[in-house]
Structure 1
Amino acid sequence: MSARRWIWGVWILVLSCYVVPYGLLGQVHAWYGSFLFWCVVGVLVIVANIMITRTFQSEDVVDGLSRNDEFHDDRENRR
């Protein structure tokens, strides 16, 4: 699944955090109604964020060098 779809999924989850507790669970007067829903959605948002960022790479990794390698190479060239 592409990152764009995961981002839309997060937006749907955020919207549902308002609609479900105040709309569908509005008649539930126990504290655990909305709280349980928000906890489950919170875990789902964390999972979605992991899926969105799993393909992110540092610019150093793309170039094939890390900052330490670059520094290390400079030190060897001076000798």
Structure 2
Amino acid sequence: MTNSPGAKRRHLASSPFKPDPEPVIEDFAVGDRVSHDRHGLGRVIAVHASGVTVDFGDQTLHLRSPFPGMSTL
């Protein structure tokens, strides 16, 4: 029996191992300057319930939460 890649593993209270930390989801606001690992520097132009829209100059992308590889400058 194998776990699916998206399934979260249960942590038993009697386990000697620490549970995985909860991921911190960064909040972005319209106008924030951001840096993305793949796309470079950009500016947030819209915030949606599912993510943000960022203008990177040569392209505008809708990025979904939890925003891996993106941080506020």
TM-score range, shorter chain: under 0.3
TM-score for both structures, normalised by structure 2: 0.20
| Higher helix residue share | 1
TM-score normalised to structure 1 length? 0.20
Q: Which has the higher strand share?
A: 2
